[in-house]
Structure 1
Amino acid sequence: MSERYSDAAQPCFRTDVLIIGAGQAGLAAAYYARQLGLKCLLVDEQAAVGAAWAERYDSLQLFSPAWASSLPGWPWPGDPLRYPTKDEAAEYLRRYAARFGFDVHARQRIVHLRAIARSGYEAFSQTGSCYIARYVVVCTGGFQAPKVPPMARQLGAAVTQLHSRDYRRPSQLPGQGPVAVVGSGNSALQIAADLARTNRPVFLAFDERTPALANNTLLWIMLRVSGLMRASRHGRIGARLHQRPEPVVSQDLRQLRRLPNVQWMGRAEAAVDERRLQGQRLITSPLEAVVWATGFGPDFGWMELPVLDERGYPVHHRGLTALPGLAFLGLPWLNSRDSALLAGVGRDARRVMRALVAGQMAPVEKLNPTSVVPR
C-alpha cells in the first residue's frame, strides 16, 4: 500500500510507482510492479475499475476470444471460446484488481503532472489530492479526445450528432428517419448494425478499401503461432503491418451488406447542406442523426513535461520516454499490433516496468515524433 502524507492544504500519497489509469494497461503495469517488489498506486477518473468498458455501447463485444484476451496472472473464467461482452470485460477487470489487491484511487482525474527534483514526479488530481512517485506510467488508454471531421459543424441543429464514445443504444437517436454512421472500423460496423436492427434507414460512410479478416478460432491460433500480433513496428515485418489499415471483421461486413435498409455511401466527403452528407457513392437523404465513429486524438495537456510533440502525441520508443522513470502503456501500436489489446498489453508492461527499474530511457536517436502518431 502507498504511504499517506498530509498537510493543511491537501492529502498527499507517496509510492514507488504511480500508475495513471486503472484499465487493462494500468492493471498489467501494477501486476509487474508487484512482481518487482515495488509499491504501486493506481489512480483513475472513473468511479470503479472497468467502468470505461461498462459505459460503452450495449452491443459491444471483444474482437478476440476469451482465451486470447487475458491479462498476466489470471485467465478469463468461463468458456474460453466465447467473445466476451463489454459488461463481462468490465467485470473481469474489476475482479482482476480485487484478486491481486491493488491500491486503486477512483474518481481521481489527474490534471497536472510535473517532475520534481530528486523525488521523481508529482501529480495532482481534480480533487486536490497529491501523488509523489519515483516512477510514473501513463495508462490512460488509446487516446481520449473524440475526433470529429470539420463537416460536422456544417450540419444544422435538426441533426442529432453523437461520437461513438457517447453512443449506447438506438433509443438515444430521435425519430425513425434516416441516420448516418461515419467510420471505417469495427465500431462503425457494429453501431450501424445496431441501428439497422430497428428498421430505420441507415447510411454507412465506410471506406471500401478497408481490409477485412475472418474472426474465428483458426485465425487467432494462426496469429498466436505466427507471432504477427507481437511483431514490433520497429522491425521489418511490424513496420509493414503498421502501415496497413486496420482490418474489420469480415463476418460483420457480410451480415451488414445483407440488410436492405443499409445504404453504402462510400467515404464521407462533405456536408451538402444542414441535413445531408456527400459520400463517394451517393448523397444521403435528409438525416435525423449522425454517429461519428471517427476515432480519437490525444489529450495529454495535463502533462507539464517535454514528452509530447507539437500535435500533443506522446514521443516515446516502445513506451519509454527520454525522461527517467516516465513511460506510456496501452497506446495503439506502442510497440506492436496487440499493444492496446488485453492479450498484448502484459508483454509491454513487463518490458517497460523492468526497463524503468533498470534506469533505462528511450534512445534519443530513436525518438522520431512522426513515427509515434497512429495512422
Structure 2
Amino acid sequence: MSFTLPGNSPLAPIVLDAVVIGAGQAGLAAAYYLRKRGVAFRVLEGAATAGAAWAARYDSLRLFSPAWASGLPGRPWPGNSLRYPTRDETVAYLRDYAAHFNFSVDTGQRVTRLAPASGQPGYAVHTAAGRTYLARYVIIATGPYAQPRVPAWANQLPPAVAQRHSRDYQRPAQLPGTGPVAVVGSGNSALQIAADLAATGRPLFAAFDERTSAIPNNQLMWTGLTLTGFMKVPRHTAPGRWLHRQPEGVVSGDLHHLRRLGNVAFIGRATGVQSGGIIQGAKAPTPPLEAVVWATGYRPNYPWIELPILAPDGFPQHQRGLTAAPGVAFLGLPWLDTRSSALLNGAGADARRVVAALLAGQ
C-alpha cells in the first residue's frame, strides 16, 4: 500500500498500512499479529499510557480468570499463574506487554473522526491532538461499549441522592455519608462493588436479579472451560447462537459472600423509584438512600465513525469483527465471535483471525 504524503508540514498526515484505535488488550493483541505480518502500523491511545481503561476501574477489581487463562499472545503473565490478578497487576501487564514488543503506541491521540480518505483509497483517522493518520486498514479496538447505561427512571431520584455509574466508581470514599447505599446490577462488577461498599459497614442494598445464575470460579472450572473449548464456541454456529441467548452468570463465591454479610439486603431486580429517594426492588424497597451505584452496563457511542458500519441503534454491524467497509474491523466487543471476545483470554484468537482476514482482503 502507498499513499501520497501531502506537503512537508510538521502536521502532515502520517501514512501507514494500518491504524489500531485503542491500546487495551484487543488493540495490543492486534498489534502483535500486525507485527508478525510485517505491517507498518501505529496504535492510537487517547490516554497517556497503554491499558488506561483498566487503570480507571475500581480499586478492588480482580480478574474473573486466573493468570494462566488471561494472557495475550506471545507473553504469559509473570508470577504465580494460579492467582486472579488485581486491577493494578492488569494495568502493569498491559504496559509491560506494549513495552516488551516495542509497539508504536501514540498516546494522547483521542480519535475524533474516522472517514474515507479524500482522493485516495483507505481511511483518514483524525485525533483531538490535531494529527491525521492515513491507512488502508483500521482496527477499532476501543473495547466493550463505554457509554454508561442507566434506567430511564434514574433521574427521578432527588438531587440529594448521589449517583455514580460503575465506570466512574473507584472506592467507597467517593460516595457521601455513611447511611444506606444501593448497588443496582446483576453482574460480577455489581457484586464486587457491593462487597467493597459493604466492607465499610454502611447499610448496603443489592438490587440484584434473583434469576441470575451463579457458577463456581476456580482452577478446575477454568481447566474444564479450556479443555472443552466452551469459551471459544463461535457465535455463528448453532451452539454459539444458543450460548449467546443465555444470560451471563456471576461468580457463586462472590454472591454467597455478599449474602452472608449482616449489613447487606437483597431487594431483587430494581423496577423503579418511590418518593423520598427510595428504589423499589422486585422483593422489597430500599429505605431513603444516600447514594446509588449503577452497575447496569453500557451502550455504544461511536459519533466519530463516518462509515456505513453502524446500525440505526448505534451498535456496530460486523461479521465476526469484519465490516462492510473494506479494511475496517472491530475487536474486543462482547460476543464479537465467542463468549470470550471481550475478555483478556479471548483477545488473541480474535485478533489473529481478524488481522489475517483483513490482509487477505476478506
- 1:221-240 maps to which residues of 2 (within 5 A)? 221-240=223-242
For the structure 1 residues 6 and 277, does the alpha-carbon distance in structure 2 shift closer, same or farther, using more than 3 Å as the test? farther
Distance 2:318 2:147 in 1: 20
- 1:68-79 maps to which residues of 2 (within 5 A)? 68-79=69-80
What residue in structure 1 maps to residue 113 of structure 2? 112
Distance 1:5 1:229 in 2: 47
- Residue deviations 1:93-134, cap 9 Å, x none? 000000111001111110001012433000100111101001
> Partner of 1:93: helix, strand, or coil?
helix
> Partner of 1:42: helix, strand, or coil?
strand
> Partner of 2:220: helix, strand, or coil?
helix
Distance 1:283 1:248 in 2: 23
What residue in structure 1 maps to residue 31 of structure 2? 30
Percent pairwise identity:
57
> Partner of 1:301: helix, strand, or coil?
coil
What residue in structure 2 maps to residue 50 of structure 1? 51
- 1:329-340 maps to which residues of 2 (within 5 A)? 329-340=331-342
Which of 206, 216, 219 is equivalent to 2:218?
216
Consecutive unaligned residues of structure 1, counting only runs of 5 or more, are 361-375
Distance 2:68 2:213 in 1: 25
Measure how far apart 1:5 and its partner are.
7.2
Q: 1:59 aligned to 2:89?
A: no
What residue in structure 2 maps to residue 363 of structure 1? none
What residue in structure 2 maps to residue 102 of structure 1? 103
What residue in structure 1 maps to residue 124 of structure 2? 122
What residue in structure 2 maps to residue 80 of structure 1? 81
Asked whether the equivalents of residues 5 and 13 of structure 1 are also in contact (C-alpha less than 8 Å), the reply is no
Two-structure CA RMSD over aligned residues (Å): 1.4
Distance 2:7 2:65 in 1: 45
Which of 290, 299, 304 is equivalent to 2:292?
290
Which of 260, 263, 269 is equivalent to 1:261?
263
Distance 1:52 1:90 in 2: 9
Which of 148, 151, 160 is equivalent to 2:150?
148
Q: 1:179 aligned to 2:181?
A: yes
For the structure 1 residues 344 and 6, does the alpha-carbon distance in structure 2 shift closer, same or farther, using more than 3 Å as the test? farther
Letter in 2 for 1:14: V
Length-normalised TM-score, structure 1? 0.94
What residue in structure 1 maps to residue 207 of structure 2? 205
What residue in structure 2 maps to residue 370 of structure 1? none
Consecutive unaligned residues of structure 2, counting only runs of 5 or more, are none
Length-normalised TM-score, structure 2? 0.97
- Residue deviations 1:290-346, cap 9 Å, x none? 000000000111000000000100000000001110000000000000111111111
> Partner of 1:122: helix, strand, or coil?
strand
Distance 1:110 1:35 in 2: 25
